[in-house]
Structure 1
Amino acid sequence: MPSTTFSNVFHVPAPPPAVLAHLSEPSSYIGLSPLVVAVRDVRKEPGVTRYVSVERFRFLGFITYDNLIEVTLRTTEDSVEGEVDSPGGVRLVYRFRLTPDGAGTEVEDVLTVHATLAPVLWYAARKARQVQLARAGILAARAATLT
């Protein structure tokens, strides 16, 4: 299965425990990923949270498609790891590693996109990278509400 990996390191002006708590909560991803408009069917177990995320895609400016994806989150002492299974043979694996950085947090965001077909991988990887880069600014902007 073809894949590609992206990495982004950025600073969030909030302490690591606050960033960890935010990234561990499914509802936080609404708007944190510009595509995610809702989460549903949240199931929490010790160390693992599973839920359905609704990604909204727009085509030609007026056609919308809601993509329902299965998400699994795992939280450790210094990271949040996730797996996404999406229709169309797309799978994402990601990790936010959190490191204290002065009064804030350095976030290393590593994302690997897998897809069954190369053209699907190209499209999914392009969208995933756009979301990854946008997420850095959105998370930093939310910092004041995290402390």
Structure 2
Amino acid sequence: MPVDAFAHTFVVAAPPARVYSHLADPRSYVGLSPLVVAVRDVHTDGDRVTYVALERFRFWTNPIRVTMTLDPDAPAVTSEVVSPGRVRLRAAVTLVPKDQGTEVTESVTVDSPSLLRRYVLRTAKSVQLQRAAELTRRMA
């Protein structure tokens, strides 16, 4: 199965602890990620949080299983996503103090079947940029 990787770095006007707290809460992803319209079945076990996010596409709603691994010391949040259609996505977010704010880097790796690859890659990159813009707005 093809694997694609890409990353995006941007700066938000909030300290790393505030950004981390926001990203560590699954409910924050409703609207933060433009496709996520609901989050349910949230379970926390130490540094791991599992939940189901509902992604709304034009003609269907896609339930995805997410496992987040939290590292408050780094600070970092890693999400492993299992989506229907044999699509797997891993997003690792690192936070570094930058002037009066935080430099956020999100590195994404996505595995998808060849038939879906172009669509999945285009959508994942678009969602990443929209999520960065929304996080920047929320942290202003």
Q: In which range does the TM-score fall when normalised by the shorter chain?
A: over 0.9
Instruction: Give the equivalent residue in structure 1 for 2:99.
Output: 102
Residue 111 of structure 2 is matched in structure 1 by 114
Structure 1 residue aligned with 2:89: 92
| 2:116 matches 1:127 | no
- Give ranges in structure 1 of 5+ residues lacking alignment: 59-63
Following the alignment from structure 2 to structure 1, what is the Cα–Cα distance between the partners of residues 48 and 84? 22
65, 69, 80: which one aligns with 1:83? 80
Instruction: Work out the CA distance in 2 between the residues paired with 1:110 and 1:119.
Output: 23
Contact 1:95 1:111 in 2 (8 A): yes
For 1:39 and 1:120, how far apart are their aligned partners in 2? 25
Q: Distance in 1 between matches of 2:35 and 2:135?
A: 15
1:60-71 matched pairs, under 5 angstroms: 64-71=59-66
Under a length normalisation based on structure 1, what TM-score does the superposition of the two structures give?
0.92
Deviations 1:41-65 (A, max 9, x none): 001110000000000001xxxxx20
Structure 1 residues 8-47: aligned runs within 5 Å: 8-47=8-47
Contact 1:90 1:121 in 2 (8 A): no
Q: What is the alpha-carbon root mean square deviation over aligned residues?
A: 0.8
> TM (normalized to structure 2)?
0.96
Offset, 1:119: 2.3
* Deviation sequence 1:29-80 (CA, Å, 0-9, x none): 001110000000001110000000000001xxxxx20000000001112110
Gaps of 5+ in 2: none
SS at match of 2:131: helix
1 CA distance for matches of 2:82 and 2:118? 17
Distance of 1:57 and 1:141 partners within structure 2: 23
- Give the AA of the match of 1:39: V
Task: Tell me if the contact between 1:113 and 1:121 (Cα under 8 Å) persists in the aligned partners.
Answer: no
Taking the aligned partners of 2:111 and 2:67, their CA distance within structure 1 comes to 16
